[in-house]
């Protein structure tokens, strides 16, 4: 009888084979779905000839694109750039510059009553011209501005599809702001997008939005650090809070009350461009760095809602990481040669003095109305630790409410704007575990 050899698959071999096959399939799946996470540089507040900016929209956008920005929103006042028949008298220098950059056929002109008018390009035309996958993204948006309850309220509505109405018949700034925000997010959502709404320059024209507004309106996720805000052009009472102090006041009370933190968006609010002989500072002074899996409006805004971004006037970050297990904030700068850096960890302790005092700030001219100012405790917004160098970590103490980092460089800005630090600076978002 011939003996036949019989080979059987042993259990261990089956397990190993199955495991390797599963890992192979998983690697193929992940390769198709995961993207490298990168930092993207963006601007969420600037203007053009669609409102009171002093240049054509394509030239404003082109400036940011050529200066290394990955995304931006052209936030002209009160209207999204949708009208295909919007004509405006334009400086001949700007007309020639646009023709030189984009071709004679791109610029449409006509003469009326001896004036040369240019048809302004719509947001759809501008996006078709500038958007490039993975390189540059123009996100639709506009600024909202009106007076509510005797105070000026400005805000930016971004990733929207139409001009968002903003009624003014509210009894308080809190109710007005929350309703404007709701309308913006609903407009984005109905088109399958993630909406973004931020309260603009609370110190303009003269401390019109006080910290208590943002403490109470805790659904508001973002507000603006406006580098070019003209509030500092007026004599400022020394007891008004600095911008960082204002931010710490809001977050100290929010964190103490178990509410979500508010994040800071640095911006230019550019109206005037140095290009073409205009005597004004260049844009690009205030911007945000957002860590996202891809250059996509919805993904960028989702990342910002998680606090995965920083505000900057020129310092770039390599890494920002908060370890929730150890409650440790780690930051690392993307350094420039021959530039020195200092990293300061800032926060507020639990049980801080929450008392509020007031002071009278009398009117000085029409742009500086009388105000009843507020003074908050010096226990709000204190420095926990300072480290010299390009990287540092801070582990929170049990009595720390939240922590954030301020990265200061030794490099001054080329052209310093009115509300800009004296040296290039970056601020991480706060972490409240």
Domain that holds residue 263: 36-82+122-428
Contact partners, residue 223, CB within 8 Å, separation at least 6: 198, 199, 200, 202, 214, 262, 263, 264, 265
Answer whether residue 56 is part of any domain.
yes
* Model confidence pLDDT, tens digit, residues 188-197: 999 999 999 9
Q: Could you tell me the pLDDT band of residue 379, with boundaries at 50, 70 and 90?
A: very high
Mean pLDDT of 220-226: 96
Do the domain assignments include residue 91?
no
Strand pairing report for 356-361 and 425-428: unpaired
pLDDT band for position 237 (cuts 50, 70, 90): confident
- The mean per-residue pLDDT over the stretch 59-83 comes to 96
pLDDT for residue 57: 97
Look at residue 19 and tell me if it is in a domain.
Answer: no
Q: How confident is the model at residue 7 (pLDDT cuts 50, 70, 90)?
A: very low
Per residue in 273-316, pLDDT (tens digit) is: 865 444 445 788 999 999 999 999 999 999 999 999 999 999 99
How many domains, the chain? 1
Asked if residue 314 lies in contact with residue 333, where contact means CB atoms within 8 angstroms, the answer is no
Helices (H), ranges, 92-159: 92-102, 123-130
Instruction: Specify the CATH number for the domain of residue 321.
Output: 3.20.20.140
Counting beta carbons within 10 angstroms of the beta carbon of residue 327, is it exposed (0 to 12), middle (13 to 18) or buried (19 or more)? middle
Q: Looking at residues 162-175, what average pLDDT do you find?
A: 94
Residue 419 lies in a domain: yes
The Cα–Cα gap between 153 and 151 comes to: 6
């Amino acid at each position: 009888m011939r003996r036949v050899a019989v080979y059987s698959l042993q259990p261990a071999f089956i397990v190993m084979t199955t495991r390797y096959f599963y890992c192979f399939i998983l690697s193929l799946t992940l390769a198709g779905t995961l993207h490298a996470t990168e930092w993207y540089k963006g601007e969420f507040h600037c203007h053009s000839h669609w409102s009171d900016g002093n240049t054509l929209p394509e030239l404003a956008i082109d400036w940011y694109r050529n200066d290394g920005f990955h995304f931006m929103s052209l936030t002209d006042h009160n209207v999204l750039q949708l009208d295909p028949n919007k004509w405006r008298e334009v400086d001949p220098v700007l007309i020639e510059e646009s023709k030189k950059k984009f071709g004679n056929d791109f610029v449409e002109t006509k003469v009326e009553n001896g004036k040369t008018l240019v048809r302004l390009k719509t947001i759809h035309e501008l996006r078709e011209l500038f958007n490039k996958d993975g390189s540059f993204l123009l996100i639709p948006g506009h600024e909202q501005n009106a007076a509510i309850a005797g105070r000026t309220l400005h805000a930016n509505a971004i990733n929207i599809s139409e001009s968002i109405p903003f009624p003014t018949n509210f009894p308080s700034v809190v109710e007005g702001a929350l309703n404007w925000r709701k309308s913006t997010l609903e407009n984005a959502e109905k088109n399958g997008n993630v909406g973004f709404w931020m309260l603009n320059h609370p110190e303009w024209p003269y401390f019109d939005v006080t910290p208590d507004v943002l403490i109470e309106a805790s659904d508001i996720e973002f507000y603006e650090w406006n580098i070019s805000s003209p509030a500092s052009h007026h004599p400022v009472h020394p007891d008004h809070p600095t911008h960082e102090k204002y931010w710490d006041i809001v977050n100290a009370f929010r964190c103490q009350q178990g509410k979500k933190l508010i994040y800071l968006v640095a911006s230019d609010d550019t109206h005037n461009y140095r290009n073409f002989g205009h005597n004004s500072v260049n844009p690009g002074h205030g911007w945000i760095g957002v860590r996202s899996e891809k250059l996509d409006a919805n993904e960028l805004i989702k990342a910002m809602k998680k606090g995965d971004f920083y505000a900057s006037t020129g310092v770039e970050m390599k890494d920002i990481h908060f370890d929730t297990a150890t409650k440790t904030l780690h930051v690392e700068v993307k350094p420039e040669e021959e530039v020195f850096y200092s990293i300061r960890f800032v926060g507020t302790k639990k049980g801080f003095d929450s008392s509020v005092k007031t002071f009278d700030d009398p009117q000085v001219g029409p742009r500086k109305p009388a105000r009843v100012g507020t003074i908050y405790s010096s226990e709000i917004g204190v420095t926990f630790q300072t480290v010299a160098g390009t990287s540092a970590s801070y582990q929170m103490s049990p009595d720390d409410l939240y922590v954030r980092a301020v990265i200061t460089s030794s490099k001054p800005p080329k052209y310093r704007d009115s509300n800009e630090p004296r040296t290039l600076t970056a601020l991480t978002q706060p972490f409240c575990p």
